[in-house]
Amino acid sequence: MIEYRIEEDSNGMRLDKYLRKRLPNVPTSHLFKMIRVKKVRVNGKRAQPEQLLAPGDVIAIRGDEQQLTGPAKSGPRTPPPPPLVDPSELVILLEDDWMMAVDKPSGMAVHTGSGITGGTLVDYVRAYLGPKAVRNDFTASPAHRLDRETSGVILVAKRRPAMVHFTEVFTEGKSRKRYITLVKGKMPKDSGVIDLPLSEHQQTAESKARRGVNMQEALTRWKVIRQSSEVALLSCSIETGRTHQIRRHLAAVGHPVAGDKKYGDFAFNRDVRARWGLKRLFLHAERIEFPHPQHGGKVTVEAQLPPELKDILRRAALEPS
């Protein structure tokens, strides 16, 4: 039996992440299995991988301490070094001791993952912060998601309490996000709401087989900024944070986002690329409002439309008059 008592520095850390840190030589799949078969308990109760830990919590792990904490048979796993990046390329919109707001370019992934090459936003942020990237056992990390091909504002937590705060903010809908997008066709009116449930994006095949496709509530508000006979420039806000929500919703109502290779219209994308030179997804996270993690006051951060998207509007005759 192994016991760990949670200290203040680990406040708000997910259980699975805490266990991976404490037991680095135990395969992640085995850690999840231990939680699933109740070999891991928190304060004597059944544990969940995603539950957040608080100071004073006691984690009890049933198993041989030597096997769990000793060196791996093949030796300790050494993670590959992060790619070399130039931190001066990072566009910082706001920074203080608790957080950063960064203007992410299109094409940059937020996190590493399958098929991801080159520096991620995480790599740039940590290269920029250097030794200050780690504070009280917490490493600076993005507080929410932004699609790889989407540009714009993304928040980064520099302290664990800030990450806990942002998790609550985004889970409980206490932030306001505004996106700018160019879509196919003429909108039927000046503004509207798309209230259409979306299937869970990362639902496993096992889960689908057991309980069917899990549909999640999703609501997107849109407003026409400028309109031509061929395309519309929209402002969108989302009240739920489903994966690819704006792209999926607009495609579902017949107005796919320009440059969207996954949900868009292939012929339309080919046409706007040939005529106006659009080589990326036309979706930009322009503005976010949120309560600050330290004092709770409202903060607003904006990222201007990138030059390549402004150029598309000029060519499409949709520039502001």
Catalytic residues: 147
Biggest CA-to-CA distance, the chain:
72
Alpha helices, DSSP H, located in 149-288: 160-171, 205-211, 245-252, 266-276
For residue 188, count CB atoms less than 10 angstroms from its CB and return exposed for 0-12, middle for 13-18, buried for 19 or more: exposed
CB 154 within 8 A of CB 146: yes
CB 4 within 8 A of CB 53: no
Place of tokens 């780690």: 134
260's CB contacts (< 8 A; 6+ apart) are 247, 251, 269, 281, 283
Cα 316 versus chain centre, distance: 31
Residue closest to 192 by CA, chosen among 252, 241, 148: 252
**Which structure tokens are listed for 38?**
């109740």
